[in-house]
Amino acid sequence: MIRKVQLKNHMNKLQVINDNHKDILDIISRRKWIFAKTMPQNPHFYTVKNLKDKNDCKDYEYLYKYIFNNHYIERYNGWDYKYCVIGNYIYWIMTDFIEESIIINRREKNAWISYK
């Protein structure tokens, strides 16, 4: 029950950002995307928020908010995640709380495999 209240309050605090597609594509192109070697059954890439770099944090949080505000829910391996299609990729976040988020994942649209 406490987590639901926290989530509701958190969602009210999230700013709605301008859905400027060029801005989001520029941010995505600047991010370093790393192949997730430990998950060969689910080939994808991830980017990590650099907590020591204010500009990186700002870009990361902009991308996070874009995904959060434009998502659809998909179940993977028993868990529901928030996904968003941007260009030729599907992006997903691992938490509903931006303060907890340090990783954003992506995979090519045509490579999507869902385990429900």
Q: Among 30, 41, 45, which Cα is nearest to 76's?
A: 41
In a domain, 47, yes or no: yes
59-90 residue pLDDT tens:
999 999 999 999 999 998 899 999 999 999 99
DSSP 70: T
Instruction: Band the pLDDT of 113: cuts 50, 70, 90.
Output: low
Instruction: Band the pLDDT of 1: cuts 50, 70, 90.
Output: very low
- The total domain count for the chain is 1
In a domain, 34, yes or no: yes
Instruction: Band the pLDDT of 112: cuts 50, 70, 90.
Output: low
Please state the three-class secondary structure of 7-50 as a single string.
HHHHHHHCCCCCCCHHHHHHHHHHCCCEECCCCCCCCCEEEECC
In a domain, 116, yes or no: no
Q: What is the span of the domain harbouring residue 69?
A: 2-111
DSSP 113: -
In a domain, 35, yes or no: yes
Say which residue the tokens 């594509």 belong to: 25
In a domain, 12, yes or no: yes
Q: Residue count of the chain, please give it.
A: 116
CB 82 within 8 A of CB 67: yes
In a domain, 77, yes or no: yes
* Global pTM value: 0.79
In a domain, 62, yes or no: yes
d(CA 116, CA 111): 16
